[in-house]
């Protein structure tokens, strides 16, 4: 690691200067840290701060989340986007609860949980257990591209992973340079780079522009989930006719064409197949 020593020293120095005192950094509870990692995927910190605390107040443990209904979980998730993440959280909590309620620290066991990929597992290991791993998320990627690949385009993650692994400290003996501190430094330095420089992540082979949400199939799915939750709160199971009427009203207000029944039914059945709702005859319910 000798040739990377100046890079590490620079990152730690910048991380110390730029440290963000975020609420999920004040805990080592793996359940709470896991939730922050999931919520922060493709969602800005400002939107998660407040929602994370509210979620923990409603579902303070993996056992509490596992005992909730999928509709309650989806209801609490509204506004955070990507509803699939909510169901993945619920299913992961059910798996943890069934195994005794304690989050594992082993990488393979973490990655076996629904919705937990390599970066999320590495984040839980680093921030909850101070264990090394390859935590390659967008801000971390930004630092490596900016400092170590300044003039290179189309950089694949396969070129970054060995460097991320090599620079991560292997022990937690030094609290000023352990896995938790190291990755916080990378996150905060990367956040500052993205704020002040042309985004280096655009030079990553993995970079892709996010598809437009408004008018998309994903937007219609999200609206139907909200309509299902509203129907549940009112105690009125959703019929196809009422779903078409409610979703069409949303579309027309946005300047788009109203929906037809076959398309709405197809989306509702798609949601039912994924566990967002259930269908009994011609009625859907969350």
Q: What is the pLDDT of residues 51-69, one digit of tens each?
A: 999 999 999 999 999 999 9
Task: Pick the closest to residue 86 from 183, 226, 246, 206 (CA basis).
Answer: 226
DSSP states of 161-184 as a string? HHHHHHHS-S-SS-TTSSHHHHHH
Q: What is the pLDDT of residues 142-160, one digit of tens each?
A: 999 999 999 888 899 999 9
Q: What is the pLDDT of residues 250-260, one digit of tens each?
A: 999 988 889 89
pLDDT at 1: 43
Q: What is the pLDDT of residues 237-250, one digit of tens each?
A: 899 999 999 999 99
> Of 37, 76, 192, 223, which residue is the catalytic one?
37
Residue 212 has pLDDT above 80, yes or no: no
**Average confidence (pLDDT) over 8-25:** 97
pLDDT at 198: 76
Ordered by where they begin, the domains of the chain are 2-203 (1.10.340.30), 217-285 (1.10.10.10)
37 is catalytic: yes
Residue 36 has pLDDT above 90, yes or no: yes
Q: How far is CA 169 from CA 70, 156, 172, in A?
A: 39, 23, 8
7 alpha-carbon distance from chain centroid: 28
Residue with tokens 């692994």: 165
Q: What is the pLDDT of residues 72-100, one digit of tens each?
A: 999 999 999 889 999 999 999 999 999 99
Record the tokens describing residue 114, joined without a space. 């629904």
């Amino acid at each position: 690691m000798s040739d990377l020593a100046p890079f590490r020293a620079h990152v730690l120095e910048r991380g110390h200067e730029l440290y963000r005192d975020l609420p999920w950094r004040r805990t080592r509870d793996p359940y709470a840290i896991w939730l922050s990692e999931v919520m922060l995927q493709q969602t800005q910190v400002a939107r998660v701060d407040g929602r994370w605390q509210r979620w923990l107040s409603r579902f303070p443990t993996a056992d509490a989340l596992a005992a909730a209904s999928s509709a309650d979980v989806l209801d609490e998730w509204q506004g955070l986007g990507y509803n699939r993440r909510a169901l993945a959280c619920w299913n992961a909590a059910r798996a943890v609860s069934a195994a005794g309620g304690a989050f594992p620290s082993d990488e393979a066991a973490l990655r076996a949980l629904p919705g937990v990929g390599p970066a999320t597992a590495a984040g839980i290991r680093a921030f909850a257990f101070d264990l090394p791993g390859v935590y390659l998320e967008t801000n971390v990627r930004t630092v490596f591209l900016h400092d170590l690949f300044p003039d290179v385009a189309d950089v694949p993650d396969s070129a970054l992973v060995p460097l991320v692994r090599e620079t991560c400290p292997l022990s937690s003996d030094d609290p000023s340079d352990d896995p938790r501190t190291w990755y916080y430094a990378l996150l905060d330095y990367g956040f500052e780079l993205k704020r002040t420089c042309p985004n280096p992540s655009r030079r990553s082979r993995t970079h892709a522009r996010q598809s437009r949400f408004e008018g998309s199939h994903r937007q219609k799915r999200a609206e139907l989930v909200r309509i299902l939750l509203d129907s549940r709160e009112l105690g009125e199971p959703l019929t196809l006719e009422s779903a078409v009427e409610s979703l069409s009203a949303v579309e027309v207000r946005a300047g788009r064409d109203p929906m037809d029944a076959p398309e709405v039914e197809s989306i509702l059945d798609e949601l039912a197949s994924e566990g967002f709702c259930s269908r009994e005859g011609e009625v859907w319910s969350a």
